[in-house]
């Protein structure tokens, strides 16, 4: 039996990052993967979707070239080539993870791993043991009883990335990050898209002002949006698919070639031996302490299988924290109140901290500032005037409670707010920090100035 200090089960952005950090700290490390190194994020999630969205962005530029004083005749897209490029990017990244495993002397064990008591894992009949086992098996597309996926007419995110033929009409059920990103991609490519969202606002976890702005932008681009609506049944017996949608006004029938179900995720915790070991699970999540220890000593869990936000960067941070604690380093628990969220549709959405409603509900006396990109010289010059930056501060102490952005490139801008909040900066400190001009990022300073009644360009 092969013996290790640490075995990581799953090689997504939580698992492979954990394995690398463990190796750096001197642990003899192995990682188990049943499919492709890099997990869903590199192969079927974050990375290939961004490749698709980049193709959509370039195509959008070509279609609107005349807005920039340029002429492009008969711009066309090759759907198969767009998908092929996306898969090529994903494959390249997966190979990069293979290189990192070799570089860091991490043993890669291919196969399906099942936990055993006594800190052991069985991989397709071969047993391995470790002082510590870290579960990082991630999640997959969740299925609703009223919306069973057949992989052809009712699909999840995997199939949405590799369709053989571009659909003429698509219904997207759910308007979280996955839903709105694919809605934007297919709409830009020329598919007629309808979004069906159960809650009153699209991207419902975001600040309400952001949700309303994205809805306006999407409708302007031709996407139909139905909120406070629920798909109650689907009929796939015909050539396409028919969906019965329950709304406040009554039932409505929608027809399309394909339905994309983007209603959340389901953790990959079945058949991995949790019951055999006695690891406690609650509502589809493995329960852990602040340093990701389960109720059974020697077994840990990170990423989507635990109760925290199901985000790649969260899984990576949790894994690093977990092994650094095992190495005896002095570490602090992760601050889940300062996790940035990013959505890569167009316009992009990025946020961190409390929404305005959450801040009010918590009893804060707040200062709110908002700066529209329509007043930004850089945004206007770039032809990207949609959106704004919104900031929320505690009026008494100047604490930066939340930051919410919608616009071009805001997923790269949000880090300023995350770092500022980590360093416990105040509104006045942000305001007196010189921001470069002309940039999109100076909108952060301008929004803060608006909160303190000192805004110049609005």
pLDDT at site 1: 65
pLDDT at site 279: 97
Grouping H, G, I as helix, E, B as strand and the rest as coil, residue 366 is strand
Examine domains 2-141+266-336 and 154-263 and report if their fold is the same: yes
CA torsion sign for 212, 214, 215, 219 is positive
Q: pLDDT tens digits for 319-332? A: 999 999 999 999 99
Q: Domain extents for the chain?
A: 2-141+266-336, 154-263, 347-451
Half-sphere exposure of 32 (CA within 13 A, CB side): 27
- Give yes or no for a contact between 388 and 406, defined as CB atoms under 8 angstroms apart: yes
Tokens of 220: 């302007």
Distance in angstroms (rounded) separating the CA atoms of residues 156 and 145: 14
Residue 256 CB partners (closer than 8 Å, separation 6+): 167, 169, 170, 171, 194, 240, 241, 243
Distance in angstroms (rounded) separating the CA atoms of residues 359 and 402: 8
Grouping H, G, I as helix, E, B as strand and the rest as coil, residue 46 is helix
The arrangement of secondary structure in 154-263, i.e. its CATH architecture, is 3-Layer(bba) Sandwich (3.50)
pLDDT at site 42: 81
pLDDT at site 3: 94
Indicate the fold that domain 347-451 takes in CATH: Enolase-like; domain 1 (3.30.390)
Mean pLDDT, consecutive 10-residue stretches, the chain (458 aa), reads: 92 95 97 89 86 95 93 91 93 92 96 97 96 96 90 92 94 96 96 97 97 97 96 93 94 96 94 96 96 98 95 96 97 97 97 97 97 96 95 96 97 97 96 96 96 90
Packed helices 312-326 and 15-24: angle between N→C axes, nearest 10 degrees? 30
Query: What is the pTM assigned to this prediction?
Result: 0.94
Q: Which residue has the tokens 């109760």?
A: 307
- Give yes or no for a contact between 389 and 416, defined as CB atoms under 8 angstroms apart: no
Residue 404 falls in the annotated catalytic set: no
Q: Of residues 64, 428, 437, 457, which has the active-site annotation?
A: 437
Q: Which residue has the tokens 């070239």?
A: 65
Q: Which of 218, 225, 219 is nearest to 171 (CA)?
A: 225
pLDDT at site 194: 98
User: From 1.10.1270.20, 3.40.50.620, 2.60.40.10, 3.50.50.60, which CATH number describes the 2-141+266-336 domain?
Assistant: 3.50.50.60
């Amino acid at each position: 039996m092969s013996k290790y200090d640490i075995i990581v089960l799953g090689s997504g952005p939580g698992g492979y990052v954990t394995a690398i950090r463990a190796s750096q700290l001197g642990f003899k490390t192995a990682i188990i993967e049943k499919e492709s190194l890099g997990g869903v994020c590199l192969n079927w999630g974050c990375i290939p979707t961004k490749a698709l969205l980049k193709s959509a962005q370039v195509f959008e530029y070509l279609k609107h070239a005349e807005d920039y004083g340029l002429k492009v005749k008969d711009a066309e897209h090759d759907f198969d080539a767009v998908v092929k490029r996306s898969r090529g990017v994903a494959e390249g990244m997966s190979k990069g993870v293979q290189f990192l495993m070799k570089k860091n002397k991490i043993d890669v064990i291919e196969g399906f791993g099942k936990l055993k008591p006594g800190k052991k894992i069985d991989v397709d009949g071969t047993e391995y043991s470790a002082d510590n086992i870290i579960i990082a098996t991630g999640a997959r597309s969740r299925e609703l009883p009223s919306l069973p996926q057949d992989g052809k007419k009712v699909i999840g995110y995997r199939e949405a990335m590799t369709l053989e033929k571009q659909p003429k009409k698509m219904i997207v059920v759910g308007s979280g990050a996955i839903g709105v990103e694919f809605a934007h991609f297919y709409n830009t490519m020329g598919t007629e898209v309808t979004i069906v969202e159960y809650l009153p606002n699209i991207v419902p976890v975001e600040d309400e002002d952001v949700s309303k702005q994205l809805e306006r932008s999407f409708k302007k681009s031709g996407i139909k949006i139905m909120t406070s609506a629920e798909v109650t049944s689907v009929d796939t017996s015909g050539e396409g698919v028919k969906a019965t949608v329950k709304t406040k006004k009554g039932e409505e029938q929608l027809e399309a070639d394909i339905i994309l179900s983007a209603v959340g995720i389901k953790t990959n915790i079945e058949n991995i031996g949790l019951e055999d070991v006695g690891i406690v699970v609650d509502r589809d999540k493995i329960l852990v302490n602040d340093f990701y220890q389960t109720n059974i000593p020697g077994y840990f869990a990170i990423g989507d299988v635990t109760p925290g936000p199901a985000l790649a960067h969260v899984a990576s941070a949790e894994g690093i924290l977990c092994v650094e604690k095992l190495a005896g380093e002095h570490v602090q628990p992760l601050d889940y109140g300062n996790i940035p969220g990013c959505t890569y549709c167009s316009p992009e959405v990025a946020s961190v901290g409390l929404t305005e409603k959450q801040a009010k509900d918590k009893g804060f006396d707040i200062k709110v500032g908002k700066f529209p990109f329509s007043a930004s010289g850089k945004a206007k010059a770039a032809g990207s005037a949609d959106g704004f930056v919104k900031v929320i501060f505690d009026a008494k102490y100047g604490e930066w409670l939340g930051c919410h952005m919608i616009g071009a490139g805001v997923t790269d801008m949000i880090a300023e707010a995350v770092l500022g909040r980590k360093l416990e900066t105040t509104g006045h400190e942000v305001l007196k920090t010189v921001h470069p001009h002309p940039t999109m990022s100076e909108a952060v300073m301008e929004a803060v100035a608006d909160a303190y009644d000192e805004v110049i360009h609005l």
